[in-house]
Amino acid sequence: MTRRKQPVRRKRPRKKKQQGIQEKHLYFIILILALFILLLLGVIYHLNRKYQRQEAYLQAIWPGKAQAHSAPGEPAAQQARRPKEQTLPAAREQTPDRNTTAAPPRPPAGGPRMCVVIDDCGGNLQLLKELLALDVAVTPSVLPHLPYSRDSVDYARTRGCDPLLHLPMQPKHFSLDHPGYLNPGKGAILVGMTASQIYGIIERDLASVGPVTGVNNHMGSLVSEDRDTMARVLQAIKSNNLFFLDSRTTPKTVIPEIARDIGLPYLERDMFLDNSNSQAAILDNLYKLARLAQKQGYAIGIGHLKPGTVKALSAFSRSPWRSKVRMVSLSTLIRQVYQRDAGR
């Protein structure tokens, strides 16, 4: 009698092995979640730190920012405690020389005029004295909230100069987290500020330097392209009966158009004189500025308060070009230009 073959029974997987695999999957998922949480916490920490730095910077350039500031037509802004002095970095923005399609104000009669504005004054009073001892007309532009801001303006006025406020404005590539990036320093205008905020900052900057006749921008490539912010800045300057010199740190500046719309006297920078520290290169740029003045009736160059620029101006004052153009202050030039425009 044949025996029936018993069917082969498959072994069932052990429950312990299944549980082990499930536990490994669970541990892996928990590890991934933990890493994600750590990454999220790192991002939150970084953003919070950046926010705190931005707040600290705003507090430095605009003390009492939580308080309301008076706008034009409101009661006078309350006087705030003067911030500690701070020397700004030497870095500055550069842009090609002026070549705009907008028609500038007409040149004054009476021969070519040449105007040299010296930026970044307020940190070195002795070098400013050496500059103003030269036999050339220059216009110092003084940064606010520096150790010698007020002294620089006072001394310039005793020498017959009409100094400017060198108004710090937010540039492109501005960052508090990267030291190599541009930082305009205390008393700066930032994109998106309200009219009352801007009015308050400019009032404090003006109080820091003392009596000036006009304003030009320090850095400011980002603000100069922002129509809303720049309109508020120029309205605040007009309310203080000042004129404006566009330093042209960006070719996309909206300053000329807004200034014309609101009736604010303004002029534009033609050349930067000392992008190179070489005295010979700066002197050559002064000659180019003089030739440009002969060509278009007047020309405005911007230099900076440093020894090479002072020496180049000294050499220019002794050159034959000194008698070919008339060197004037910016306030004199803008008065002559706009008086001629008014007579059209």
Domain annotation covers residue 50: yes
Domain tally, the chain:
2
Evaluate whether residue 104 is within a structural domain: no
121 touches 128 (CB < 8 A): yes
Among the listed ranges 111-125, 180-194, 322-336, which one has the minimum average pLDDT value? Answer: 180-194
Let me know whether 53 and 201 are in one domain. no
Given a cut of 80, whether residue 32 has pLDDT beyond it is yes
Burial of 158 (C-beta count, 10 Å sphere; 0-12/13-18/19+): exposed
Q: Tell me the mean pLDDT in the region 233-239.
A: 98
Are 53 and 119 contained in the same domain?
no
* Domain match, 171 and 313 both: yes
Q: Which domain holds residue 41?
A: 28-61
| 185/42 same-domain check | no
CA atoms within 13 A on the CB side of 80: 26
- Alpha-carbon distance 283 to 38, whole Å? 58
Given a cut of 90, whether residue 168 has pLDDT beyond it is yes
Residue 80 forms part of a structural domain: no
| 262 lies in some domain | yes
Q: What was the pLDDT predicted at 300? A: 98
- Under the banding of pLDDT at 50, 70 and 90, the label for residue 183 is confident
Residue 87 lies in a domain: no
Do 143 and 51 fall within a single domain?
Answer: no
Mean pLDDT, rounded, for 224-248: 98
Contacts 24+ apart (CB under 8 A), 50-56: 50/176, 50/177, 53/176, 53/177, 54/176
pTM of structure: 0.74
| 246 and 137 co-located in one domain | yes
Same domain, 123 and 193: yes
| Average pLDDT value for residue range 304-316 | 98
- Expressed in angstroms, the distance from the first to the final Cα of the chain is 134
If asked whether residues 217 and 297 sit together in one domain, one would say yes
For residue 103, pLDDT over 60 is answered with no
